[in-house]
Amino acid sequence: MMDIPHIISILRNGGIGVFQCDTILGLIGPMTPEAAARIRAVKQRAETKPFILLIPSEAHLTQLTSGYPLEFEPLIRRFWPGPLTIVLPKSAAVPDTITGGLSSVGIRLPNFPVLNDVLIELDMPLISTSVNVSGDPEIKTLDAVPTDIKNAVDFCWEPDDPTAIEGVSSTILDGTHSPYRVLREGAIPTDQIEALLRRK
């Protein structure tokens, strides 16, 4: 299996690959139109579908968005790092090719030590999406990844014991409209999010 310093070098130089996240196995790459195009080709993914951004720290929110509601502070404190993706108005720093032409972007601070170390070392966001052909079920282990996908990326990595990962997608919260709404319930139940948003 390829070592982490080599993977960091590949990502820094624009490469893409398969990497275990705290949620599900993901396709990741730098936040560039070139990496996005390669991942779209691997997944047979429409150009209108956005990617999620994985960030090294909460500080990157100010670079990637035009701001977020103060009501979200309790959510960020409670669920970041973790499986909560927040959709916010994007800044000019995020290429339109990453968001599928949308004016918003989904952002998450993951909670998986190896991935967090990679993000911190790179000090930049990574685009992420599930490892599968669009429309097919999500793939949860490296052994189940089709050979075509493995051959189309620059690296594949998963932990020694991938079964220790729960394999549940992140919950996605839309913060671009009020009232805020959960677009996809995943690892964090909607009622926990609503309970925090109701607190003043």
Q: CATH code at 143? A: 3.90.870.10
Asked if residue 163 has pLDDT above 70, the reply is no
Prediction pTM value: 0.95
Least confident interval from 39-53, 158-172, 178-192: 158-172
Residue 191's identity, in one-letter code, is: D
Q: Is the pLDDT of residue 88 over 50?
A: yes
With b meaning 16 or more CB within 10 Å and e meaning fewer, what string describes 41-68?
A: ebbebeeeebbbbbbbeeebbeebbeeb
Closest CA to 167 of 136, 148, 142: 142
Q: Which whole number is the average pLDDT over 110-138?
A: 95
CB atoms within 10 A of CB 21: 24
- Residue 11 is part of which domain span? 4-198
Q: What's the number of domains the chain is made of?
A: 1
What is the number of other CB atoms lying within 10 angstroms of the CB of residue 174?
A: 18
With cut-offs at 50, 70 and 90, classify the pLDDT of residue 181.
very high
Interval 107-119: pLDDT, tens: 999 999 999 999 9
Give the three-class secondary structure for 16. coil
User: What per-residue confidence (pLDDT) applies to 1?
Assistant: 65
In angstroms, the CA 99 to CA 104 distance is 7
Give yes or no for residue 154 having a pLDDT over 60: yes
Place 200 in a pLDDT band, splitting at 50, 70 and 90: very low
Q: Quote the pLDDT of residue 81.
A: 97
- 98, burial (CB in 10 Å: exposed 0-12, middle 13-18, buried 19+): buried
